[in-house]
Amino acid sequence: MLYRQKFDTFIRQYDDVGYITSKSDFGDRVVDAAGAVFLKALSRTGQSLDALTAKIAASFIGVDTAVLQKDVAEFYAMLEADGFIVSGLTEAELDAKDTRFSYAALEPKTIKKDFTPIVMRAEKSTQEFLDEHFKGKPHLTSLQIELTSRCNERCVHCYIPHENKINDIDPALYYDVLGQCRDMGLLNLTLSGGEPMLHKNFLEFLRKAKEYDFSINILSNLTLLNDDIIAEMKANRLSSVQVSLYSMKPEIHDAITKMPGSFVKTHDAILRLIEHDIPLQISCPTMKQNKTCYVDVLNWAHEHKVRAVTDYIMMARYDHTTGNLDNRLSLDEVGTVINDIINNDRDYQKEMANADMVKTDARDISNDIVCGVCVSSICMIANGNLYPCAGWQDYIVGNIKKQPLREIWDNSPKVQYLRGLRKKDFPQCLTCADKSFCAMCMVRNANENPDGDPLKINEHFCKVAALNRKIVLEWKERLQA
Ligand SMILES: C[S@@+](CC[C@H](N)C(=O)[O-])C[C@H]1O[C@@H](n2cnc3c(N)ncnc32)[C@H](O)[C@@H]1O
Ligand code: SF4
Ligand code: SF4
């Protein structure tokens, strides 16, 4: 019998624990030090039980091979049952069992439904386990790289000031960072921009990221998609491509991107990626221009079994100029969108119907972390500057040309400062009635604040949280009436 990890699973070792995750909704598992040895023995080519046992035996002293082989077989049987690995007599059988993402295999009209046939075996959720395990020594698991700040579009809401859309990453720097990320056990690599496909080395960048076995996400407007990129995406273990589509009306989409013809290119590229079974997510931020037609994008995506998300929260540019916010929805307009969501989004309805507001309102959040920035994720722009989160490019926590990534991650005072922040550092939030509906976010605070202060809460978001709570509570009352 041969065993092999599945196409879209990733294995990492963090200190003395092993970690396996699947990008097709099978979740993840953490195993102890012995299990980590069993996990590490697996690879992307089939290996027999004898070969795997011999590999594993080298890590244990005085072990009875027959007993070990039984343990190994049981361990892999559990991983196979949980959807992480495949077994078979030949590579062809492994290939046949290693089903990849396909739109045809998705149930019609179900996009976010939970169809995972697994029982959680761990008592705690994996994330809780890892958070506890890494307490005091956070691991970098996600990096977003802005391959270029250049862009062929000029979106009215973009957080990158248009005059700064001028820099490409030096390939040598990109490859160097990738090597450092591999050494640090990075799992998720996001390639973004600007428009990442404008970089002349984009294809090589994608190939190299595959060699390092990262789970790759691409953020793109897809206007430059071509056959070579599609072929590489198919060969690569791409987790997802996130594309921005603002309207199904070409004139509205193009008015947002300020690029005539962009709708047709993005729309057609989405259809081509669907045709090639490349997992997609459509991002459709709402703003004044598309407030009456963004729903058409969500419906179109739904018909094509593509996950689509909308977002009425727009942040200011990272140089603290706020001209782009002229396009942001007013509070009344946000109210209409929230009403649309609570009346149409079944997932949100389910979540809100089951939410115990009394319990969530009473929960003590003082020691909760604010978010994952500098706890598990970080970003980098073309010149090597590292910053905490997409859109927060001017909060520079270090530069990779001057210091290794690990040193910045472990020792940068700004990284440590952000990592140490807790909800109690926002005292007005602790007793706030609207906290369960709040998407308070430090980059949104900082960008809209003339001094760039991430702790200075932006009142717009408080007003949105209060409105969201009011609308949901009214909806719940109607439900119970
Ligand atoms: C900066 S773009 C980079 C990738 C690519 N050029 C694109 O547009 O998809 C990434 C995402 O950020 C969103 N975005 C841009 N400016 C924003 C802002 N001010 N607030 C919130 N999201 C924004 C875009 O709509 C897009 O979905
Ligand atoms: S949102 Fe994306 S496509 Fe639009 S200008 Fe910004 S980087 Fe370019
Ligand atoms: S609504 Fe404002 S005060 Fe309340 S939790 Fe959110 S940011 Fe804090």
Higher pLDDT, 101 or 150: 150
Of 248, 166, 444, nearest to 328 by C-alpha is 444
Q: What is the pLDDT of residue 266?
A: 98
Higher pLDDT, 174 or 359: 174
8 A C-beta contact, residue 146 and residue 370: no
Q: What is the DSSP letter of 319?
A: T
Q: What is the pLDDT of residue 105?
A: 79
CA of 30 to the centre of ligand 1 (A): 34
Asked whether 262 lines ligand 1 (CB < 6 A), one says no
What's the whole-number average pLDDT of the chain? 90
Q: Which one of the ligands is nearest to 445 CA?
A: 3
Residue 110 has pLDDT above 90, yes or no: no
CA of 313 to the centre of ligand 1 (A): 11
Per-residue model confidence as pLDDT tens digits over 117-141: 222 233 455 666 677 677 767 899 9
Residue 160 has pLDDT above 70, yes or no: yes
Protein residue with its CA nearest to atom 4 in ligand 2: 155
Asked whether 157 lines ligand 1 (CB < 6 A), one says yes
Residue 190 has pLDDT above 80, yes or no: yes
Q: What is the DSSP letter of 78?
A: H
Task: Determine what percent of the chain is predicted with pLDDT higher than 70.
Answer: 94
Mean pLDDT, to the nearest integer, of 263-290?
96
Residue 45 dihedral angles phi and psi, to the nearest 5°: -120, 150
Q: What is the pLDDT of residue 319?
A: 97
| Separation of CA 212 from chain center | 18
Q: Which one of the ligands is nearest to 444 CA?
A: 1
8 A C-beta contact, residue 416 and residue 378: no
Per-residue model confidence as pLDDT tens digits over 21-64: 988 766 888 888 888 999 999 999 999 999 999 999 998 888 88
Residue 159 has pLDDT above 70, yes or no: yes
Residue 213: burial class (beta carbons within 10 Å; 0-12, 13-18, 19+) = middle
Q: How confident is the model at residue 358 (pLDDT cuts 50, 70, 90)?
A: confident
Q: Which one of the ligands is nearest to 315 CA?
A: 1
The string of DSSP codes covering 280-306 is EEEEEE--GGGTTTHHHHHHHHHHTT-
8 A C-beta contact, residue 20 and residue 29: yes
Q: What is the pLDDT of residue 128?
A: 66
The string of DSSP codes covering 125-175 is -HHHHHHHHTTTS----EEEEEEES--S---TT-SS-GGGTT-B--HHHHH
Q: What is the pLDDT of residue 125?
A: 59
Q: What is the DSSP letter of 368?
A: S
Per-residue model confidence as pLDDT tens digits over 326-337: 999 999 999 999
Nearest ligand 3 atom, CA 429: 8
Per-residue model confidence as pLDDT tens digits over 292-303: 999 999 999 989
8 A C-beta contact, residue 141 and residue 188: yes
**In residues, how long is the chain?**
481
CA of 458 to the centre of ligand 2 (A): 24
Which range is least confidently modeled, 70-74, 335-339, 358-362, 436-440?
358-362
Higher pLDDT, 86 or 343: 86
Residue 423 dihedral angles phi and psi, to the nearest 5°: -55, -30
Q: What is the pLDDT of residue 114?
A: 28
Question: At 420, which amino acid appears?
Answer: G
> Left if phi > 0, otherwise alpha if psi is -120 to 50, otherwise beta: which for 3?
beta
